[in-house]
Structure 1
Amino acid sequence: MKKQIIIALAISISAFSFAQKKELKAVEKAIKGNNYAEAKSALKQAESLMSAMDEKTKAQYYFLNAQALYAGGAGSMADIDAAIESLGKVEGAYVAESSELKQTMVNSILTKGNDLYEKQDFSTSSKYFEKAYRLSEQDTTFLYYAAVTAVNVEEYDRALTLYEELKKVGYTGIEKQFYATNKETGEEDILDKTARDLYVRSGTHTNPGERLTESKKPEIVKNVALIYVTQGDNEKAIAAIKDAKAESPDDVNLILSEANIYYKMGNNEEFKKLLEKATQMDPNNAELQYNLGVLSAESGDAESAKKYYSKTIELNPDYVNAYINMSAVVLEKEQSIIEEMNNLGTSSADNKKYDELVEVRKGVYKEAIPYLEKALVLDSKNVSAASTLMNIYSILGDTAKQKEMKDKLDSINTEN
């Protein structure tokens, strides 16, 4: 009796094995014919036999399951996620086939991600970049792309998760670049080492060299901190910046990032302090000088504001807003003059003083005019400059220039 049971059991196992192979062969046939729906149906049948599968057959099942879900690139986002999970279960047998499928998927997913990025569908492209990383986790640049594109569409929670993962894996984005000067264009070409060496030997390029790119860590830390600010978690924002500064205390970009965070928090005093520090480190940065001018003007320090705006113009003579803001600082002196004029009486002394103040007021206007005119030269459609000049010329009694500015303003408004 015992012998009969053993024989019956052996027959049962053999039948299971035959059924497994039959179902998986049906899956393979369906996939080869691009009939992925049929392949998924056959896989459902095979899944019920999973408990009886040996390790090799399980590996085959997971590999085929990933192929069916990916569907030659036609699978949905959820299908791709499931395919990635299935490939993660392939062990032993079918590892080589699995690696080949992964590479095919990575290439296809990156192409889709890039196409969507070009179409400015940053949300979807970010998800494709992340999936490329999940398939090829040694390529951490894909994860960086996913995080950056998520920020573009203000998907801050997801971006923060991706950035934190980048920090965890120690991503810096530093790469070795190989370059050489193209003789025909005179410009520097970035190439892989083999191509660069070949071009140099063939004589089309000269001056070969190599260098390391800048670290993306300051940018990552800045974005993490700004996300925390957006979420109202200022303490975490400052902590993120301070951690980065501990590693790179002389990185001016980190100092600017910290300044930007304090500005977002409304702490103008700390913002200004950090900008001044950054300006000492980068004295030829016109943007820094301009921002310090804005802060000085807002705090009522007109002389400092003028000093910073003058420096901005010296560094960048085409900085339109520096001219506009300089004229505004100059014209602020008008208010105290008007107040003094209005408080005067009718005595001869007061009348004399009034006439003196009229001339002082005209002097203020004349000081502001060159800045406004220059702004209008640089930006011919600047409504603020044209409008202010029209009012100034009216007060100065220069009717010809007043009309010129009025016509200019009418033309701008008509075009808009």
Structure 2
Amino acid sequence: MMKRIALLLLMVVTVSAYAQKAVKPNLNKALSLYKEGKLDEAKTMIDLATTYEKTTNDAKTYYYKGLIYAAIDTTSNETYKALAPDAFQTALDAFKKGDDMNTGKEHFVQEASGLPVTKTQQIAVWANGYLNKGATLYQEEDLEGALKNFEKVQLITPKDTTAYFYAGFVSNGLENWDKAESNFKKYMELGGKSPDAYSVLVNINSGPKENKEEALKLVREAKAKFPKNTDFPKVEIGLLIDLKRIDEAKSGLESAVKKEPNNKILHFYLGYANQNLNNNAEAKKNYEEALRIDPKYFEASFYLAKLMYTDAANLKKEMSSLGISQADRKKKVEIDKVLVEKLKVALPYWENTEKLNPSDQEVLDVLYSIYRDLGLEDQSKRIEKRYKELGLEN
């Protein structure tokens, strides 16, 4: 009986020793299992290695753990993916810990071909997978999904400008102005060199964020960084006009016109600046020059027509302020004679503008007013018909 018990105890000890030996962590084995695609076994082995006294302080342990969990994170095998729902973050943490512990050369693994693949290359492959996925979702118009993938790329490779650039555009498309702004600023901070980043930032601040001073600051930075870009100076001028800094805008425009004498937009803006400074004769020349360059330039024609209608509009205002006394009635008759001449001067400018855009209500409204003031009934009826065609009220 005693011999039998002794034999059983010996078997238990032997089996126990064997079991312990079978699960003893082995980094080389973990790597082999990873290469073979046996991610469940690789995960078990590497998890043990992180708590095993002989491997827990080895930087290679966490490098391998990062590789294994990154593979679980990106696998299409749902069984393996279910092993670690937080595989993405676990991989990030493992790689970071391995980097913090590693004071030697960069880690790498040997491929079947015999060529080494470094950690940097492996990280790049991991990041590119999410970058491509984000791009695909963007093309499919899933902006939320695209943004999530680009943000994962930022976590994997925090110094790579590409993901910040793409995330900026997607956030802008989602009208998440703050996130778009932070992404583009990070892109530039990291050395991004696309002027498009500045263009979007300027648009965000001059538009939805209503911060034109910040937009002006940004566009001036952009001008300094991209001196060959011809758009930023024009945007600057537009912002100066919006900010009522007309004198400053005019000075910049005059310099710009000398450099680009055939640029209709510059002539138009110079006309706008001069008009705001009450330099109407100069403004008229500027608008006419813009139309000489492009006879179909609606904005220039519209503002020129408004300029030519200024005197008539002032006279009408003066007439409406007069009373019914004999002196006022006499003055009205005198003003009306001048008004008729001013309206006749302005009329062809408005008619030309209508030809460029027959559906613009403000143009139709002014034309209708002029036709009625001049007693041109047929033309007034023509405008009334046009209102009906467009579904507008007069």
Asked whether the two chains share a fold, i.e. TM above 0.5, the reply is: yes
> What is residue 201 of structure 1 aligned with on the other side?
none
Matched residue, 1:46: 48
In structure 2, the residue corresponding to 1:283 is in which secondary structure? coil
Superposed, 1:204-353 pairs within 5 Å as 216=195, 220=197, 230=209, 234=213, 252-263=230-241, 265-338=243-316, 341=319, 346=326, 351=330
**Does 2:90 align with 1:69?**
no
Residues in 1 aligned to 2:333 and 2:153: alpha-carbon distance in whole angstroms: 76
Q: Deviation per CA, 1:130-152, whole angstroms, max 9, x where unpaired? A: 65466568964554334444445
**How far is 1:333 from its partner?**
0.6
SS in 1 for 2:364: helix
- 1:60 Cα deviation (Å)? 1.7
Deviation digits for residues 247-302 of structure 1, max 9, x if unmatched?
Answer: 66676544335445545655333233323332232222222222233333334333
1:110 aligns with 2:131: yes
**Matched residue type, 1:364:** K
Q: Does 1:92 align with 2:94?
A: no
Q: Distance in 2 between matches of 1:392 and 1:247?
A: 50
Q: Does 1:374 align with 2:352?
A: yes
Q: What CA distance in whole angstroms lies between the structure 2 residues aligned with 1:302 and 1:111?
A: 56
Deviation of 1:409 after TM superposition, in Å, equals: 0.9
Given that 2:50 and 2:61 are in contact with CA atoms closer than 8 Å, whether structure 1 keeps it comes out as no
Alignment of 1:172 with 2:177, yes or no, is: no
Give the Å deviation of 1:113: 2.6
8 A Cα contact 2:268 2:286, kept in partner: yes
Cα 1:156–1:297 change in 2 (3 A) is same
Give the 3 Å change call, closer, same or farther, for CA 120–303 of structure 1 in structure 2. Answer: farther
Aligned residues of 2:272 and 2:283 also touching (Cα < 8 A):
yes
* Structure 2: gaps of 5 or more residues: 1-15, 100-105, 110-115
Deviations 1:345-403 (A, max 9, x none): 747x985x755543432232223333322333222321122222222212211111111
Label 1:65 to 1:16 Cα distance change in 2 as closer, same or farther (>3 A). farther
2:24 maps to 19
Cα displacement (A) at 1:156: 4.7
Equivalent residue for 2:112?
none
1:412 Cα offset (Å): 0.6
Q: Which moved more, 1:318-327 or 1:85-94?
A: 85-94
* Paired AA for residue 107 in structure 2: G
Distance 1:232 1:40 in 2: 54
Structure 2 residue identity aligned to 1:46: L
CA 1:389–1:169 in 2, change beyond 3 Å: closer, same or farther? Answer: same
| Aligned-partner Cα distance in 2 for 1:334–1:248 | 46
Corresponding position of 2:3: none
Q: For 2:170 and 2:381, locate their aligned partners in 1 and report how far apart those are by CA, in whole Å.
A: 50
How far, CA to CA, are the matches of 1:400 and 1:106 in structure 2?
Answer: 70
Matched, 1:394 2:378: no
Matched length = 354
Superposition deviation, residue 64 in structure 1:
0.5
- For residue 339 of structure 1, report the CA deviation from its aligned partner: 5.3
**Corresponding residue for 1:209?**
none
Is the partner of 1:96 in helix, strand or coil? strand
| Shift of residue 109, structure 1, vs aligned partner | 2.6
Distance, in Å, in 1 between the alignment partners of 2:254 and 2:42 is: 64
Residues 134-183 of structure 1: CA distance to partner in whole angstroms, max 9, x if unpaired?
6568964554334444445454544444444444444435xxxxxxxxxx
**Separation in 2 of the partners of 1:362 and 1:84?**
79
Contact 1:23 1:43 in 2 (8 A): no
The corresponding residue for 1:60 is 64
Asked if the contact 1:279/1:285 (under 8 Å) is kept, the reply is yes
- Cα distance in 2 for residues equivalent to 1:341 and 1:275: 38
Deviation track 1:65-122 (CA, whole Å, cap 9, x = no partner) reads 1112234599999865664564564742437175565454444333333234335555
Q: Which segments of 5 or more consecutive residues in structure 1 lack a partner in the other structure?
A: 1-10, 174-215
Question: In structure 2, do the counterparts of structure 1 residues 92 and 152 end up closer, same or farther at CA, with 3 Å as the change threshold?
Answer: same
C-alpha deviation, 1:52, in angstroms: 3.7
Q: 2: CA distance between counterparts of 1:50 and 1:396? A: 99
* C-alpha distance in structure 2 between counterparts of 1:298 and 1:143, whole Å: 41
Where 2:24 maps in the other structure, the secondary structure is helix
Larger radius of gyration: 2
SS for the counterpart of 2:359 is coil
Q: 1:405 Cα shift?
A: 0.7
Q: Is the 8 A contact 2:202 2:216 kept in 1?
A: yes
Cα contact 1:40–1:68 (8 A) shared by 2:
no
TM-score (norm 1): 0.65
What's the CA shift for 1:22? 9.4
